[in-house]
Structures are given as structure tokens and as C-alpha cells.
A = this chain, B = another copy of it.
Amino acid sequence: MTRPVTSHDVARLVGVSQPTVSRALRDDPRVAEATRRRVRRAADALGYVPSTRGRSLSTRVTGQVGVVVSELANPFYMETIAHLYDALDRAGYRTVVLTEPPDRPFAPERLLDGALDGAILTTTLLESELPRALAQRGFPLVLLNRRIDALVCDTCVSANAAGAAAIGELLVELGHARVGALFGPADTSTGRDREAGFRQALAAHGVPLSAWRRGPFRFETGYRGLRELLAEAPTAVFCANDVIAVGALNAARACGVAVPRELTIVGFDDIEPASWELLALTTVRQPLPELCATDVELLLTRLGDPARPPRLVELPADPVLRGTHARA
């Protein structure tokens, strides 16, 4: 094990000063072309790699973007991170993952310590003070999938209410009159907007919501919730996301309820397992790759133009019909 090679070693080998080495490796025209060549040759020979830390202190650019999620062990956030990672990587940024446990509010200081050029928040609660606190301090950030009521920063969401309304219309058209729902948390825009859209669609056709529960966007919410709803004998159940729907499908299997012959179950998001033959989940597609690419574009624009007024971008969310729905 040897100590890492530094720019001082390169300077010593070439016989120039250390700042000249740094300038030469940045192709700074203040250094003669012949010297730049000698420095590059010496750096190659020694295996010297310029430090991003040294660079970041002089240019205030770390090349790192934070991605804040509430839980990693959730297929939806995992897929989100994968898409954000790809978009950030294409733009030359490193991804630093940060988690925000539901019970421990995220302190702005975790993002403001100088290691990040900006951040993408994916699990913001409606009442969160974090976006405002960060925006006030001039920290570049965008919200993904979630919004807060005041537009204090760039935000990209899908049409949650309209998508949930469309799947509600589908259940009505299929003749379902005993409809249940497993909604998401009311303190999230996704939970609130999907619930509102679904309720409005039923109400518009005079179909009552016979039984419903609210819970976190987790497998257990669907797995436990469906068992409770079964007591009310619904013929169709709307789940506020696919992870809840997967829990509900597994509970139906465990209880010997045949989907879709005895029970229709639909979700929201279109995560990857939704398209497996073993699930064949009818759901609402969130355009996740487009959401993530748009969010990264918003962040890059913000980094280049910090004074631009924040904007909200909404993308469409449409039903995907597979195998878990049937006529009542």
C-alpha cells in the first residue's frame, strides 16, 4: 500500500510549480503548450489523478447531486433512483442517495454542507418545511412525483388526480357497485390527489365507496388492508400505488379469492413487476423515465439560471389494462 500520487509529485518531476501542474492539466492557455505536454506525460507516468475536492473548492462545483427518498426497500423508489441515476450520469453528475425516514424530519443542513450542487426530493410531505428552507438559502432543488401547495421550487409530477379518476371510470363502466379502496397517506400530494380523483369519478356516477382504508405506500398496507376490506365484500378495490396492489393481490391469493373472477384489483404507477404474467396488474402508468428526465432537466436549468422563477410540470398518467380487472 503506497500513498496516493499528488500534483506536487508531478511538479517535482517536471520541475514546475504545483499551480502550473493544475493549470496544465486543465489545459489553461496561460501554460505553454510544450509544458502542458510535459506535465501530462509526467502525470500519466506517475498515475496521477486530479482531485475533484481540490477543484471543487476553487469552482464551487462538486459534480454531485443528492437524491432524497424515504425508503430504499421499495420497488418504486428503486426504479426512480435508477432512472435519475441514468439521467444524472449522462449529464456528468454523481448521484448521492440520502434517506429521509418518515419519523425523522430531514434537516436542511444535511444538504447544505457543500458536498452537493443540488438535490432532487422524491418523498416530500405536503407540510414539509424543507423545500422552502432550501429555496430561501439559494440551494438548487427540484421535487419529483410529490408537490407541496406553494410553488417554491421546480416540481415535476404526473396527473395523479386525472389518472385515478380514469381508473375509477373504468370500474364504473365494468358495472362495479360495491367498490373499496386502499388509499395512500393524506399528508402526501400523491396520496391526496389520487384519493380525490378516484372519489370524484365514483361520485360523478352515483357509485358509493363502500369501504376504504388509508396507509403508507407499502406492501403491508395492501396485504393487511385487503383482508379487512373483504369483510365488506367489495367486487373491486382501487389501490393508491402498485406496491399496495401487490400486497393486496398476495392477500387475495392467501385468502383463496380469485382475481379477477371474484375480485377486481387495480393499482397506480406501473412498476416493473406489474407487467409480469404472474401479476398482470391493471394499473395507471406513471411515465417514470420521463418524470425523472424532466426533473434532471429542471435541475440543470436551475443550476445555470438560479434566478428563474420556479415552474410546475405535469405529465399525463393513463390506465394500462392487463389481467386483474373484470366485469362485476
Q: Which residues in A have some Cβ–Cβ distance to B below 8 Å? A: 1-4, 47, 49-54, 56-57, 62, 64, 72-73, 75, 78-79, 81-82, 85-86, 89, 94-99, 109, 112-115, 135-139, 246, 249-251, 253-254, 272-273, 276-279, 306-307
Write the chain B residue with the least CB distance to A259: B278
In the complex, chain B residues whose CB is within 8 Å of the CB of A2:
136-138
Interface of A is mostly: mixed
A129 to B306, CA, bound (A): 43
A-B pairs with beta carbons under 8 Å apart, 17 shown: A1-B306, A2-B138, A4-B138, A4-B139, A47-B137, A51-B114, A52-B115, A53-B62, A54-B57, A64-B96, A72-B85, A73-B82, A75-B75, A85-B99, A94-B96, A97-B97, A250-B277
In the complex, chain B residues whose CB is within 8 Å of the CB of A73:
79, 82, 272
A113 to B6, CA, bound (A): 11
Of B85, B96, B272, B307, the contact of A1 (CB 8 Å cutoff)? B307
A8 to B301, CA, bound (A): 29
Write the chain B residue with the least CB distance to A280: B253
Write the chain B residue with the least CB distance to A138: B1
Q: Is the CB of A4 within 8 A of B137?
A: yes
In the complex, chain B residues whose CB is within 8 Å of the CB of A64:
96, 115
Q: Is the CB of B53 within 8 A of A3?
A: no
A139 to B47, CA, bound (A): 13
CB distance from A272 to the nearest CB of B (A): 7
Q: Is the CB of B3 within 8 A of A138?
A: yes
In the complex, chain B residues whose CB is within 8 Å of the CB of A98:
94
CB distance from A206 to the nearest CB of B (A): 35
CB distance from A91 to the nearest CB of B (A): 14
Known contacts: A2-B138, A135-B1, A278-B250. The answer to whether A115 contacts B53 by CB under 8 A is yes
In the complex, chain B residues whose CB is within 8 Å of the CB of A82:
72-73, 78
Write the chain B residue with the least CB distance to A3: B138
In the complex, chain B residues whose CB is within 8 Å of the CB of A306:
1
In the complex, chain B residues whose CB is within 8 Å of the CB of A86:
72
A57 to B246, CA, bound (A): 48
A154 to B75, CA, bound (A): 30
Write the chain B residue with the least CB distance to A81: B72
A3 to B114, CA, bound (A): 13
In the complex, chain B residues whose CB is within 8 Å of the CB of A272:
73
In the complex, chain B residues whose CB is within 8 Å of the CB of A135:
1
Q: Is the CB of A254 within 8 A of B273?
A: no
In the complex, chain B residues whose CB is within 8 Å of the CB of A51:
113-114
Write the chain B residue with the least CB distance to A109: B49
Write the chain B residue with the least CB distance to A73: B82
In the complex, chain B residues whose CB is within 8 Å of the CB of A3:
138
In the complex, chain B residues whose CB is within 8 Å of the CB of A276:
246, 250
A79 to B73, CA, bound (A): 6
A250 to B72, CA, bound (A): 26
In the complex, chain B residues whose CB is within 8 Å of the CB of A85:
72, 97, 99
